[in-house]
Amino acid sequence: MRDVTGWVAVVTGAASGIGRGMARSFTGAGMKVVLADIEQAPLDATTAELADAGHEVLSVPTDVSSLEAVEALAASAVERFGKVNVLCNNAGVGTAGPVQQTSLEDWRWTLAIDLWGPIYGCKVFLPLIEEAGEGHVNSTASMAGLLAGGSLGAYNVAKHGVVALMASLARDLRIAKSPVTASVLCPGPINTNIVRSERNRPAESLAEHVDTPQGERFWQMLTDSLSHGMNPDEVGPMVLDAVRTDKFWVLTHPDMLSIVVDQVERIGRDQSLRVF
């Protein structure tokens, strides 16, 4: 198990939810944390909470869909703390609706944050983490990155991409004998603000969202489910454990794997698709 005391972690989507839980766990383990988020007020509040508790933190407003913003985040982290050991690509959004009625702008907005955000993060931060001599990269995917249900096409595609990105990265790092390790977080139902992620969507992008009865029904069901979901503060220690122990899969609800196993077995049995 690695001693992470004194390490520097950068967490995107850190103002609330899972990202805030990560920041709390990391600072509790003796790490310095750079908190990045697009939403200023909760970012300030979370940063103040941790600073008031005596932790070394820095807040950097960041739009992870912008390569230039991610580069500026990295520069701010190095300027303040001199190095980066850990990156958590956690910022994410979601939108619902059947694939055949999902607007191109819904695709662009979702993939820009949920998939290109982690790609930009890995591209920008990996050289810095390797320069630090040891570290870890974690990206937040979803159980939707392991099994694609209906009414969530753009999100499913993005999260499947994140799982593939991190699995590829983890293997490439091992082949290169890099001091950096990688993991992927696949949460089940967590009580976060993702169902309200369009609060941060640019107006011109939101105007091109297509509302559908199927999407609305699914979003209401998801909202109800997440309201009874796991406390996001319980997720932070799971990611911290992956950073310390080089565990690749971080699963908040391992019981949900039975659905994934069923789908894999169907491939071998009759090539059918489980619909849910």
Strands (E), 198-248: none
Structure tokens at 112: 């820009």
β-bridge partners, 10: 34, 87
- Report the Cα 194 to chain-centroid distance in Å: 11
**Cα atoms found within 13 Å of the Cα of residue 182, Cβ hemisphere only:** 27
Strand order in the sheet with 180-186: 57-61, 32-37, 8-12, 86-89, 135-140, 180-186, 249-251
- 120 has catalytic annotation: no
Burial of 73 (0-12, 13-18, 19+ CB in 10 A): buried
Own/partner contacts of 140-145, CB < 8 Å, gap of 24 or more, are 140/13, 140/18, 140/88, 140/89, 140/90, 140/92, 140/184, 140/185, 140/187, 141/166, 141/184, 141/185, 141/186, 142/186, 142/187, 143/186, 143/187, 143/188, 143/253, 143/256, 143/260, 145/184, 145/186
Q: Coil, helix or strand for 148?
A: coil
Tokens 């300027």 correspond to what residue? 79
Burial of 82 (0-12, 13-18, 19+ CB in 10 A): exposed
Q: Which member of 155, 190, 201, 222 is catalytic?
A: 155
Which among 13, 68, 70 has a CA at the least distance from the CA of 46?
13
Catalytic residue numbers read 155
